[in-house]
Structure formats: C-alpha cells, structure tokens
Amino acid sequence: MENEVIQIPSSESAVSERLDKFLADNCSCNFSRSYILKIINQGLVSCGGNVLKASYRVKVDDVFDLVLPKLEKLDLSPQNIPLDVVYQDSDIAVINKPAGLIVHPGAGAQKDTLINALLYHLDGLSSIGGVERPGIVHRLDRDTAGLMVIAKNDNAHISLSSQFEKRTVSKVYTALVKGKPRVANFIIENKIERHPKYRQKMTVSSKGRLAKSEITVKKVWDCKDGTFSLLKVRIFTGRTHQIRVHLSSEGLPIIGDSVYSKSSQKYRLPYLLLASVHLGFDHPVTGDRMEFDAELPEHFLKFIEKLDRSLNGD
C-alpha cells in the first residue's frame, strides 16, 4: 500500500534501544528487522519531522512515523505443500499449520516454508509484511502446530494487525509439560527479552517487554517416569517464545522443547508439545466475531495415549 503511514510511540522500557530493533519489535505489521532497516535507509522513518538513521537511540516521548514504501513484486515460488485451510474468503484465510513448517523464508530457508504453500493454495496475499512475509500478520514457531489467520489484502492486514496490537484477538494454546503447577489456575506476568548470551533464546528479564499468560490445568499424570500436566494457555501478548519461556521459568518445561528443556531428547519427539488450538478475532470487513478451534496434532495425541497407558499400567 503506497503512502500509508504507521505511527509507533516509544515506551519507557525501550529507552536507548536502537531504532531498527525497537521498530521491528513494536510494529504491529510484523515487519522483519531487515525490512525495517530497508525502510529506514530509504529515509522513510522520522520523528518530529526529522529523518532518522537505524542507529538512533529511542527516547521516552518519541513518536515515529513510518511511510510504507512502494510495494515490491514478490519473488517467491509457490509450492504444492499440503496445507489445511480451515476457512477462507476474499479477505482472510485461517490455516492449521503443521508442526515442523517454517513460517517465512530467511537465511538458509528460501523454500519449503508456509509462505511458499500460501502462494500456491491462496488466490491473494497482503504485501504490508514485505516481500518475505506476504499475508503474515502473526507467526508460530517452526515446531508449534495450530491456527493462524492470514491476510489476503492490505486492508485486512491493517485491521488484523490493529486487533493484535489492541489485544482483542483470542489466542489459546494447549501445552504438555513436565511437572505439575502448584495451583489449578494462575497468571504469569513476566517481562521477556532476548537472552544476552544465547541469542536464539528469550529470557525473563526486568528490562524486557511485558508478557502475560493465563495457565489452567486440564489433566495430570503421575507416572513411573514422573509427573506430567496438560495445560490450557491463554496469551494476552504475543512475545517471541512467550509460552515456552513462561512455563520454563515456572519449572514446567514443555515436553520436546530442545531450547528450554534440558531433557528434551529423552522423549524422542519430532516436535515440542505445544499447539495453537483456538483463535478468535473480528472479521476485518464485516466486523463479525469469528472463532476457530483445531484438534491436537498426531504427535501430541500419541504422547497423551502413551501417558494414559502408563497410568493404567500397560
């Protein structure tokens, strides 16, 4: 969308951050940091009328104006990758992403991604996310299965992004963890930022961005191999690795999580046991509330069956 302007206010927790990092973390349109950098280098980011550089350090009362550049032609190849399209119309699609599928191309992954599959199966995708992320309003980790909403045009993208930013989107996950929570229902409200040493990880930190998750215990197995719990997780924010970090910080690592669980290899699972099972939002054109539910993936169900057999002595 040409000449569209997005305004992003600074926050106290982001003071002194580099501009490119701050915008990539806070822009509701799901721009990659490389795309943000490209916009900055084109002189399309300003504050108070002053064009800024990527190295600019954020101040408390800053309000940044981002002028979206003229759209580039997509140069990604459609691929006939099996895709479960739960719903679609002329504005949006809801898909049930399989575990193991990377959402968008990046270093070392220019094909075999969800984007390649979307280009094959859908008849249109928004361009606001840049040429590497057409249609992507939010994302799931590679090994996380479940529901995602896709924008098929730029107006839909802007509306959905606004709903995510205002936290009116309902997002519920199912997780299977080692251990048992002390209470049946509780809220984790810890700030999260990238780990200062291990850059592929996130960590709880007082300097991070606020992340809020509500945890409800659905089932507990006390087996000979230990205690396991099936959890319903409702998230109110969408930070990177939020559920995985929050549960790990409570001593409840997700089974099969090779990043946040030291015993992940013990269970010989292809993917971690985390799935997006419910997604609710307002249709970007009609305004109607839309609610979607998904079944747990096969590898998840098989592990539950194994726990049930263990509990029964089989």
Residue 260 · residue 274 · CB < 8 Å: no
- Tell me how many domains the chain contains: 3
Mean pLDDT of 68-75: 60
Q: Is residue 284 part of a domain?
A: no
Hunting for tokens 């994302």 — which residue is that? 139
**What is the model's pLDDT at position 289?**
98
Range of the domain at 198: 171-277+298-311
3-state secondary structure of 216: strand
Q: Is residue 204 part of a domain?
A: yes
Q: With bands split at pLDDT 50, 70 and 90, how would you rate the model's confidence at 70?
A: low
Residue 176 β-bridge partners: 230
**What is the model's pLDDT at position 175?**
98
DSSP 8-state symbol, 308: H
Q: Are residues 184 and 271 in the same domain?
A: yes
Among 150, 166, 182, the domain boundary falls at 166
Burial tier of 200 (Cβ tally within 10 Å: 0-12, 13-18, 19+): exposed
Among 42, 67, 92, the domain boundary falls at 67
Candidates 141, 143, 154, 257; catalytic one: 141
Cα atoms in the 13 Å half-sphere on the side-chain side of 231 = 32
Whether residue 141 lies in the annotated active site? yes
Hunting for tokens 């799931």 — which residue is that? 140
Helix (H) or strand (E) holding 239: none
3-state helix, strand, coil in the chain (%, to 5): 20, 30, 45
- Report the CATH number that the domain containing residue 208 is assigned in CATH: 3.30.2350.10
Task: Say which residue, 197 or 271, is predicted with more confidence.
Answer: 271
Q: Are residues 144 and 270 in the same domain?
A: no
pLDDT in tens, 216-268: 999 999 988 889 999 999 999 988 899 999 999 999 999 999 899 887 778 88
Q: Are residues 42 and 60 in the same domain?
A: yes
**What is the model's pLDDT at position 36?**
85
